[in-house]
Amino acid sequence: MAQATVDSGSDLKILVIDDDPTGSQTVHGCPLLLRWDAETLAAGLAHPSPLLFLLANTRALAPAAAAERVREICRALRPALRQAVAVGRIGGWLVVSRGDSTLRGHFPLEVEVINEELGPFDATLLVPAFLEGGRTTVDGVHRLHGQPVHESPFARDGLFAYGTSYLPDWVAEKSSGRIPAAAVDRIGWRELDVGGAPLRRHLERLEGNACVAVDGASVPQLAALATAVRCVMATGGPADDGPGDGRPRRFLFQSAASLIQALAGLPPQPLAPAALASLRRRRGERPLPGLVLVGSHVPLADRQLERLLEEPGCVGVELAVAKVQRLLEGPEPVRLLASLELAWGQRLADVLAGGHTPVLFTSRGEARCRHAQERRALGLALAGVMARRAAAVAPDLGYLISKGGITTHTLLADGLALEQVELQGQLLPGLSLVLAAPDTDQGPLPVLTFPGNLGDDGTLREAWRWMEAQAGPP
């Protein structure tokens, strides 16, 4: 599919196919779509924001299902984009496959499907830096707070494990050798610091959907990349060094959240944290209570949960993972699970009636599963329980905090049955607050989307304190 030529005066729409609902964590003022029918896409493309997120939730899926989900989205996008360009609603577009900044997910599968459906592209730029979360890439090595990311617990993920932090080697590992490390081009930090015509010449030379690993350790570096990309997409060559060959280049991106802000160039978000927290729903003058969901099971999430439950105002309600697992393996799982859900739902109601914040969490530790399919099925079942319980009490809530990408997507798409949400901004770095407007006469419900891998031990407690009383840091 031909991509519309971008010029300096056009309205470029940045389409972000997000593998979970947390990739909008550096931007604001844009829609996040949970469906991609023609009507929903047309409305999203007509939105004044330069950004449009499509929440694919592919990290929760097996590889074949993830590929099919991305293909479905791309095939829905093709006529919608063609129409939006034809009527002048947008002047051009580019695609970002937003992935995890700790390198978990279906790479290169998803970008290969996008290339097949919306390409061909001259290059796929791999930019995993997420500066707000301490994820940087220097000399091709991706780091988390200075530590090579393959040494972190995230690299031992039960579904997306890997053994190297050097991006060319990581690409080779994740592609099972189909893309050799030697074939991975690189744009290093020195080249980004220089920027300008040399960087644009590098981009202009790319062809044949080359895989390019890009450093990123500062805002100016990512801004330099974004500026160069826009120029080469528009002109086909360095503006101050001749017209190039006259062919505008086409790029696909596999990136974390920081590059998205650099490409969009948004102004500062209009709502400060206190103003975001004040979106909490009220009944008359009385603020309605909150609910916290914790589905993520990475060690950081365990520590954050422990700190939150030290708060006198919070009461834990534990979903017993082992019990759910046994029910799923036995006869009549639906009926028996429904009975368990009623008990958990009553516990939530009791905590809310007592004037406390219920914290609904899955029992800690990673369940033993026989294979990846069983692990995914268990994860989706647990997320479904949490989503249904949250939806049942949502009419009486002032806000929701949802930790974990699969948990959050299931809450929004299935529990609350939403077609889209509107991103307001970040309450804390990397923690996005969205407004979920259910099909009722109630006001929109603020939902704080909290990635499993973000923050320090006290960040979940800090976010809860903001939403409860705008009290700020603990």
Residue range 391-446, pLDDT digits in tens: 999 999 999 999 998 899 999 999 999 999 999 999 999 999 999 986 556 789 99
Phi-psi group of 389: left, alpha or beta (phi > 0 → left; psi -120 to 50 → alpha; rest → beta): alpha
Any idea what DSSP says for residue 412? I
Fold classification of 12-264 is Rossmann fold (3.40.50)
**Equal fold, 12-264 vs 273-469:** no
* pLDDT for the residue 365: 67
Residue 430: closest CA among 461, 467, 459: 459
Residue 321: closest CA among 366, 358, 351: 366
* pLDDT for the residue 387: 94
* pLDDT for the residue 440: 58
Domain map (residue ranges) of the chain: 12-264, 273-469
**What's the CATH architecture for 273-469?**
3-Layer(aba) Sandwich (3.40)
Say if residues 471 and 451 touch (Cβ distance below 8 Å).
Answer: no
Residue range 72-95, pLDDT digits in tens: 999 999 999 999 999 999 999 999
Arithmetic mean of pLDDT over the chain: 90
Locate tokens 């500066």: which residue? Answer: 131
Q: Nearest 5 degrees, angle CA 189-CA 195-CA 200?
A: 115
Say if residues 384 and 340 touch (Cβ distance below 8 Å).
Answer: no
Locate tokens 């590098």: which residue? Answer: 202
pTM for the model stands at 0.89
CA dist., res. 64 & res. 53, Å (int) = 22
Mean pLDDT by 10 residues, the chain (474 residues): 47 94 90 96 96 95 96 98 95 95 96 97 98 96 97 92 98 98 98 97 96 98 97 66 67 97 94 95 93 90 96 94 80 78 92 96 76 79 91 95 93 93 94 83 89 92 90 42
Say if residues 233 and 6 touch (Cβ distance below 8 Å).
Answer: yes
* pLDDT for the residue 438: 62
Residue 17: closest CA among 67, 85, 89, 79: 67
Token pair for 185: 């081009």
Could you tell me how many residues make up the chain?
474
- Give one DSSP letter per residue of 324-351, joined into a string: HHHHHHSSSHHHHHHHHHHHHHHHHHHH
Token pair for 162: 């890997």
